[in-house]
Amino acid sequence: MAEETIFSKIIRQEIPTELLFQDELVSAFRDISPRAKTHILIIPNKLIPTVNDITQEDELVMGRLFTVARKLAAQEGISDDGYRLIMNCNKHGGQEVYHIHMHLLGGEPLGPMLAI
Ligand code: 5GP
């Protein structure tokens, strides 16, 4: 059984954080340490520690991350100029929180940014 991270507490609002979106599958909130004008994290409500742990059963929730990213990008007014979606995996990927999350970054030119 994987250990919960701070993100599970945010999903349950045990740590008060403004949720930009929440449904039965995913939640979204602003990154505490934004690396771009818009920096939002979109996460599954269910704890999946890394991309390596995604199974076929998770295909619906993984797809939902993208439809919510699209919706939030429109809400932020960054759809036309563009944005970047990033998911880090494990040490070499620079993953810090072991509850998978999609970074939605935009609002300015992002350049060749590799690490966030
Ligand atoms: P990773 O490096 O794992 O892909 O990204 C983890 C992200 O979570 C980082 O960008 C970090 O700033 C963000 N983060 C870590 N702890 C918190 C928190 O308590 N609240 C919020 N909103 N973001 C967090």
Residue 115 lies in a domain: no
Residue 112 lies in a domain: no
32 CB within 6 A, ligand 1: yes
Residue 75 lies in a domain: yes
Q: Which domain holds residue 24?
A: 6-106
> CA 23, CA 99: separation in Å to the nearest integer?
17
Residue 114 has pLDDT above 80, yes or no: no
**What is the residue-averaged pLDDT of the chain?**
96
> Is the four-CA dihedral 3, 69, 23, 64 of positive or negative sign?
negative
Angle at 11 between CA 92 and CA 53, to 5 degrees: 35
pLDDT (tens digit, 9 = 90+) per residue, 70-83? Answer: 999 999 999 999 99
What CATH number has the domain bearing residue 89?
Answer: 3.30.428.10
pLDDT (tens digit, 9 = 90+) per residue, 19-72? Answer: 999 999 999 999 999 999 999 999 999 999 999 999 999 999 999 999 999 999
> CA 23, CA 40: separation in Å to the nearest integer?
16
Residue 2's pLDDT is 85
Residue 116 lies in a domain: no
27 CB within 6 A, ligand 1: no
Instruction: Work out how many domains the chain is built from and give that number.
Output: 1
Residue 1 lies in a domain: no
> Is the four-CA dihedral 92, 96, 102, 108 of positive or negative sign?
negative
Residue 114 lies in a domain: no
Residue 111 lies in a domain: no
Residues 1 and 46 sit within 8 Å (Cβ to Cβ): no
Candidates 41, 92, 104: which one to mutate for ligand 1, based on the most atoms within 8 Å of Cβ? 41
